Structures are given as structure tokens and as C-alpha cells.
Structure 1
Amino acid sequence: MSWLTRLGFVAPAAAQTDDGALLARLAAGDAEALALLYRRESGSVYRYALALAGDEAAAMDAVQEAFAQLLRGPQGYQPGRGSLGAYLAGMARHQMLSQWRDARRHVPLDDALDTEPTPASDDCLTQAQRHDGLWAAIRRLSWPQREAIALVDLQERPYDEAAAIAGVSTDVLRTRLHRARQRLAELLAAGERHE
């Protein structure tokens, strides 16, 4: 223990980044703790929600609800079950599923994820067409397959964490991912034959 620690000084980085300490501060009503957690975790949770929903407003609503739930009950997070980011992504996922069940409709990915090609070169146009084709193919995947692709391939989460977010075993997630990749390859190949 350093002499600074013995005098009551805590290293700011450790005090601000430790999940347990931040959650304890949050439970005590410290708004700065929520801001720190939000800055650190919201980006990845949003990207995950956006990959699933394809709708910026729905993704943002899911992120906001996940953090609101964390604020209402920070004690619900159990570190032994995975990272805080995975816990928040799981809450966002449940929020989106709840909205979709209530509406009794599927929210497809929209063209907001696609980028417009710049007229700079043929290479850029070709790359944009491939990008458009990829997102069109992803839109055609089933929800479980799209979720597996989003968690593992787009967000690069470990299998165990992705499975925890999806609420399935690691084996089920691997099966979904395998089938999703196969289906995606089929759709992309079919798209190239039609061009």
C-alpha cells in the first residue's frame, strides 16, 4: 500500500473504472457514476441494438431503458455472470423484444446502415454495392441468426458473453452463428449471380 493510499487518496483511474465501486456510488445516488458508466458502456450497447433493430430511434430507446433499469436497480448486476456491458446489452435486447412483441411486427434493418457511395472511383462504387448487398442479406436473416452475427461477427464478443446476452447456451449460439454464416454466404452468392 502506498503512502498516498494510507493517507486516504485513491487513484482516480481505479476509483472511476471499477464496476463495483461505480455501482455502489450509483446505488448511493451519485449521478456522476451513472455518467461514467454511460460514457464507457453506451457505445457498444447502442451498436448492438442498432445491428439488431436497424432503427436508430429503437436502438436509442433500448439503450436508454437499459440504463434506466440499471439506475433503478444497480444491485441486479451480478459480476459472476458476465461483464457489465453484456448485462446492459441483455437489458437492451429484452427491451427491444418486448417492444416488438407488443407491436406484433418485426422491425427490419433499414437503409440507415447503408452508406452512399462517393463518386470518386469505380472501386468506391463496387465497395458500396458490396456493402449494400451485405446489409440486404443480413436483413433477410432470421432474428436469432441476425443476433448471432451482430454479437460475434460485428461486435466481436466472446462466445460465452454473446450466448449470455442472447439467453442461450454457447452451443446453441455457435449453431445459430454457423447457420447464419451459411445462409449469408448463400444470399450473397445468389445476389452476385443476379447482377
Structure 2
Amino acid sequence: MTWLHRLGFVAPAPAAMHDDHALLARLSSGDAEALAQLYRRESGAVYRYALALAGDEAAALDAVQEAFTQLLRGAQGFDASRGSLGAYLAGMARHQVLSQWRDTRRHVPLDDALDHDDPAAASPGSDARLQQAQRQQGLWAAIRSLNWPQREALTLVDLQERSYAEAAAIAGISVDVLRTRLHRARQRLAEALGEGERP
């Protein structure tokens, strides 16, 4: 059991393998249903990633829209040898979030609405649910305290459960740099959450 599971956070299960090339070929030929299938399959993970980085629902939605718009305009730009389609879309969303962040010249904090994704946090009907909601609020507050590179590494690896190689490709860094950022992020979270041992 990971430290995130101990705090009540359960990441979404990874999607099953799909024939991305067939869907993208249909998309390139103007098949609207192919776009709908890709959106249903990938948009949730891309949105959660963008939301964790931007901390703002509107900015995250803009990033998802931009990622799928770019895919629609140039599906041929996807190269399966460089990672999954989900990683490709996440990378485009990341560029949009970074662009917004640079434009504002300030770091946008995580929105407290993230806590409401959990039914227990939204409707605490018992002491156990209330305690779980409080633990999750503490977790998000600790994540808010991380700088951008550390937050991104943690989001990609621990929250989205991507491989080191895929996470590094999305962030545009080496695996060694990713590991360093992730290690520092986990250390800071352990300190912020008052854990006596490393997560």
C-alpha cells in the first residue's frame, strides 16, 4: 500500500491498450466518432493532470480543449515510439498550462474543489468519512506547497501512475531529473504531512 492509498487517494485504473493508429487514421479522414472515442477515453486523465498543475478548473478545461484541438489539426504528429497517446495529449495540455502560467507570471494554487471529487469529502456522514476528507484536504494543501517541477513529477508518477520514462517525456526532462524532483517532492510531502518515515 502506497502512502497515497494510506491517505485515501486512489488513482484511476490505467486504460486498456487500444489501437491508437486506427482511431487516428479514422480521425484524419474526418470520422467524428473516432474523436468522440478518443475524447471519452483520454480526456479524464488529461483533465486531472492539467487541473493538478494549474489548480484552476477553467484553465484545465482550456488545456484539454487545446490538446484535442491540436490533435484534430495534426493527428499525424503522434509518434507511438515516443510514448502513449495519453502522454502525447498530456504533453500538449502541459504546454497550454505553462503558457497560461507564464502569461500571468504567478503560480496558481490548487483549487479546493479538488477535494470534492471524493464522495466522502462531499458528504461526510460519519467520523470515518470526515477524517478521510480531512486527510485528503491535508494532502492537497501539502501538494499546493510544492514548486511547479516537484508538483508535476508527483502528479505524473504518483497520482497518474505513469512510468518514469513516460512522465519524463511529458515533462521534457531526463529520467534522472524526474527521479530527483520526485524524491524531493515526496520528502517535502512527508514533512508537511508529519510522517516519520519516507513515503
TM-score by length of 2: 0.83
Aligned length: 174
Determine the structure 1 residue equivalent to 2:110: 109
Could you list the per-position Cα deviations for residues 23-75 of structure 1 after superposition, in whole angstroms to 9, with x for gaps in the alignment?
11211222221111111111111111112122211111101100000011111
1:163 aligns with 2:168: yes
Higher helix share: 1
Q: Percent identity?
A: 79
Determine the structure 2 residue equivalent to 1:10: none
Query: How far off its partner does 1:121 sit?
Result: 2.7
Report the Cα distance in structure 1 between the residues aligned to 2:26 and 2:124, rounded to whole angstroms: 51
Alignment counterpart, residue 134 of structure 1, candidates 128, 136, 139: 139
Report the Cα distance in structure 2 between the residues aligned to 1:22 and 1:28, rounded to whole angstroms: 10
Determine the structure 1 residue equivalent to 2:29: 28
1:48 aligns with 2:49: yes
Determine the structure 1 residue equivalent to 2:192: 187
Partner of 1:107: helix, strand, or coil?
coil
> What stretches of structure 1 of length at least 5 have no aligned partner?
1-16, 191-195
Report the Cα distance in structure 2 between the residues aligned to 1:28 and 1:124, rounded to whole angstroms: 49
Computing the radius of gyration over CA atoms, which structure comes out larger, 1 or 2? 1
Report the Cα distance in structure 1 between the residues aligned to 2:82 and 2:96, rounded to whole angstroms: 20
Determine the structure 2 residue equivalent to 1:64: 65
Partner of 2:173: helix, strand, or coil?
coil
Query: How far off its partner does 1:120 sit?
Result: 2.9
2:47 maps to amino acid: Y
Query: How far off its partner does 1:117 sit?
Result: 5.9
Query: How far off its partner does 1:119 sit?
Result: 4.7
Report the Cα distance in structure 2 between the residues aligned to 1:118 and 1:22, rounded to whole angstroms: 40
Determine the structure 2 residue equivalent to 1:85: 86
Determine the structure 2 residue equivalent to 1:14: none
- Asked whether the 8 Å contact 1:117–1:125 carries over to 2, the reply is no
- Asked whether the 8 Å contact 1:50–1:56 carries over to 2, the reply is yes
Structure with bigger RCO (C-alpha 8 Å, 6+ apart): 2
> What stretches of structure 2 of length at least 5 have no aligned partner?
1-17
1:26 maps to amino acid: L
RMSD, aligned CA: 1.5
Over 3 Å counting, the alpha-carbon distance change for 1:129 and 1:73 in structure 2 is same
Report the Cα distance in structure 1 between the residues aligned to 2:126 and 2:88, rounded to whole angstroms: 43
Over 3 Å counting, the alpha-carbon distance change for 1:119 and 1:95 in structure 2 is closer
Partner of 2:48: helix, strand, or coil?
helix
Higher alpha-carbon deviation: 81-90 or 115-124: 115-124
Partner of 2:193: helix, strand, or coil?
helix
Report the Cα distance in structure 1 between the residues aligned to 2:34 and 2:148, rounded to whole angstroms: 34
Partner of 2:26: helix, strand, or coil?
helix
Higher alpha-carbon deviation: 73-82 or 120-129: 120-129
